[in-house]
Amino acid sequence: IESPFVARSKFFAACKNVNENVSEWAARVRCLALNCDFEENVIDMMLHDRFIIGFEKGSVQAKLFKEKITCSFSDAIETAMAEMAAGEVSCSKDPFVKMEPSIHHVTSRRATSSAQKPRSVSEKCKCCGRKNHPTTRCRYRDYVCNLCHVKGHLAPMCSKELDSRTV
């Protein structure tokens, strides 16, 4: 078991990794606090503060900075998740966007036809199926499919469901 001072040093130095989602970051903050020997009356405040301060700069952190100082750690997590779901986070920092072609089997099969025509908003979103936004701006891109349990699309857009319907 490490010294509480070593544990606190790691806790206070922690920052959210670019590839971590909100739940993973919250879990890591909780784990880092385990050996810190924080008093019962301050643990929620410490978790709350590290969670918010350790978030990368952007719309999520800006939203969290607007929260009341008295909000709880769980309130901060809910706010961050809601902000991420709203799609206001920069797509360039979202690791899912980089993995999109390998996740969507249908996308890779149609790559030749989509390369010939310019991509427009009139095309269906690969996450939810609507035509009013590109896939990269979809609020459901961080949701987990109820059919295949893969992050990035809703059940109506699931390629596994599509494969079972065509068989």
CB atoms within 10 A of CB 126: 21
Residue 82 is predicted with a pLDDT of 87
Q: What is the maximum alpha-carbon separation in the chain?
A: 62
pLDDT in tens, 119-145: 444 678 888 888 888 888 888 888 888
CATH fold for domain 4-85: 1.10.1200
pTM: 0.51
- Average pLDDT, stretch 137-165? 77
Residue 6 is predicted with a pLDDT of 94
CB atoms within 10 A of CB 162: 13
Every domain of the chain and the residues it spans:
4-85, 91-166
